[in-house]
Amino acid sequence: MAALHNRISRRELKQRIQSEGTPRTTISFYCYFKIAEPTVFRNALYRQLKELDILGRIYLASEGINAQISVPSVNLDAFRTCLDFYEPLKNIRLNIAVEDDGKSFYVLDIKVRNKIVADGITDPLFDMVNKGKYVDAARFNQLTDDPQTVVIDMRNHYEYEVGHFENAIEIPSDTFRQQLPMAADMMKENKDRNIIMYCTGGIRCEKASAWMLHQGFKNVFHLEGGIINYVKQVKEKDLLNKFHGKNFVFDQRLGERVSNEIISKCHQCGKPADTHVNCVNDSCHLLFIQCDECKEKMEGTCGDACRDFIHLPAEEQKKRRSRVDKGRNVFNKARSRSLKQI
């Protein structure tokens, strides 16, 4: 019987996937449906995916599943058969990555959580059954040709910064749970207008659309399959692409190029750049945007303090790291001055 957890060091796994020659396909999908026993479901799914050599990150909860995975291309049909075994997942839409080198994940993690998207909702009357209407790329373009249509980006600020749809409204927040009440409040004077919500793959905007309807909004839509599916449909149907810049993704790539425009700036020197990196200092790992010149000059770090840190003896680094609580270490506008040290 296959082990239900990974037992190999992540460093070794990462090295293994970097040297592996097996063609892989990066896929994301989600589904809101009732899971009576998430832990039982999790263990069964882990065994099935492990046999197919699937890697990635999957969250399960009583409300459904949220997955970002890397599948050996030769096992794609077998993977689809695996999903079809579960009635709610039968023929589910799979979002295929726009840019993919097959190195997006190096371990299989399946975790049971309270919710597949942390939303902060405690209202017992809220139900995902009543959600906004799906729109595909063609319908999205049609609706957004009308200046009265409101487009809301339900992603985090650092995702919005490197790429977003034309005239999209940013909900200036670090977390989805903060965005939901903010979106309803910001739109309270527009309850009768067409409102389209979007996110990376559809999971956040689908829940957001249901929340807006729960708050009394009338004409709420959400982009089916999110930005990933929109880009796919635009290419297949030769439609006008209304997304500008880069689509941030939550795997090793940290982004997919959608258009050739660079709409953001290096957080250190201010030059045009849209490459997200994590500070190489293991006691920091700040997620921020860094251009190639700054990467070379700062040796992959976010500032002078971290650059000095990585040159300390290994034992001293380890000692100092043990006293550091990084928390949720993501660049935000309040930190912009501290990074500009070049």
Alpha-carbon 137 to chain mean position: 19
pLDDT band at 338 (very low <50, low <70, confident <90, very high): very low
Report pLDDT for 19.
63
Output the average pLDDT for the chain.
Answer: 87
Q: Per residue in 59-79, pLDDT tens?
A: 999 999 999 999 999 999 999
CATH number of 10-112: 3.30.70.100
CATH superfamily, with its number, for domain 133-237:
Rhodanese-like domain (3.40.250.10)
Sheet holding 256-257, edge to edge: 163-165, 243-247, 256-257
Please report which residue ranges of the chain form alpha helices under DSSP H: 10-19, 38-51, 76-84, 137-144, 157-162, 176-186, 203-214, 226-237, 292-297, 304-309, 314-321, 336-339
The tokens for 280 are: 């190489």
Is residue 329 predicted with pLDDT exceeding 60?
Answer: no
pLDDT band at 1 (very low <50, low <70, confident <90, very high): very low
Instruction: Give yes or no: 199 in active site.
Output: yes
pTM tops 0.95, yes or no: no
- Among 123, 328, 166, smallest CA distance to 259 is for 166
Q: Please report, for the chain, the start and end positions of each structural domain, with discontinuous segments joined by +.
A: 10-112, 133-237, 276-339
Rounded distance between C-alpha atoms, residue 176 and residue 25, angstroms: 28
Rounded distance between C-alpha atoms, residue 194 and residue 208, angstroms: 14
Region 178-193 average pLDDT: 92
Q: Which of 31, 82, 199, 306 is catalytic?
A: 199
Torsion of CA 63, 66, 72, 73, to 10 degrees: 90
